[in-house]
Amino acid sequence: MTHDLHRLWLRTAAVVFGAFGPVCFFGTMEPTLESARWSLDLLSWPPDGATTWEHPDTRLLSALAGGFRVGWEVLVRGLAALVCDAAPEAVRRCVLSGVLAWFVLSARAPSRRAIRPTRSSTSSSC
């Protein structure tokens, strides 16, 4: 891979990382809530309308996730612009390690469709 192509891939990865940061952020505000809900519902295929921001904790976590995603974008763009010329292989390994760690942990998390209510939450106590 040429150096210019490597830098292009880093910049592309940065945009992909950061693209949903604003979506998560806008999901925390009433006027933009529906478009953000639709976007994230589409990501959790198939779209079923189950994604909501009704609970305040969900809004807080969504804002944090948006900040992390934009932070990742800024970090990778900075590595591509400022460090890639001096240590291209080290930059590639660092970014790849971070992405793999992110995906491994995300893949291990239970999906909302896999979470079933417990017996105590569905039955009433006497």
Q: Please tell me the least confidently modeled range out of 37-41, 97-101, 112-116.
A: 112-116
| Higher-pLDDT residue of 31, 123 | 31
Rounded to whole angstroms, the Cα distance separating 75 from 51 reads 29
Instruction: Convert the pLDDT of each residue in 14-62 to its tens digit.
Output: 998 888 888 888 888 888 888 788 877 777 778 888 877 788 888 888 8
- Structure tokens of 41? 């519902």
Q: Tell me the average pLDDT across 105-120.
A: 61
Residue 124: pLDDT band (50, 70, 90) is very low
**Burial level of 24, CB count in 10 A (0-12/13-18/19+)?**
buried
Rounded to whole angstroms, the Cα distance separating 125 from 66 reads 40
What SS3 string covers the chain? CCHHHHHHHHHHHHHHHHCHHHHHHHCCCHHHHHHHHHHHHHHCCCCCCCCCCCCHHHHHHHHHHHHHHHHHHHHHHHHHHHHCCCCHHHHHHHHHHHHHHHHHHHHHCCCCCCCCCCHHHHCCCC
pLDDT exceeds 70 at position 5: yes
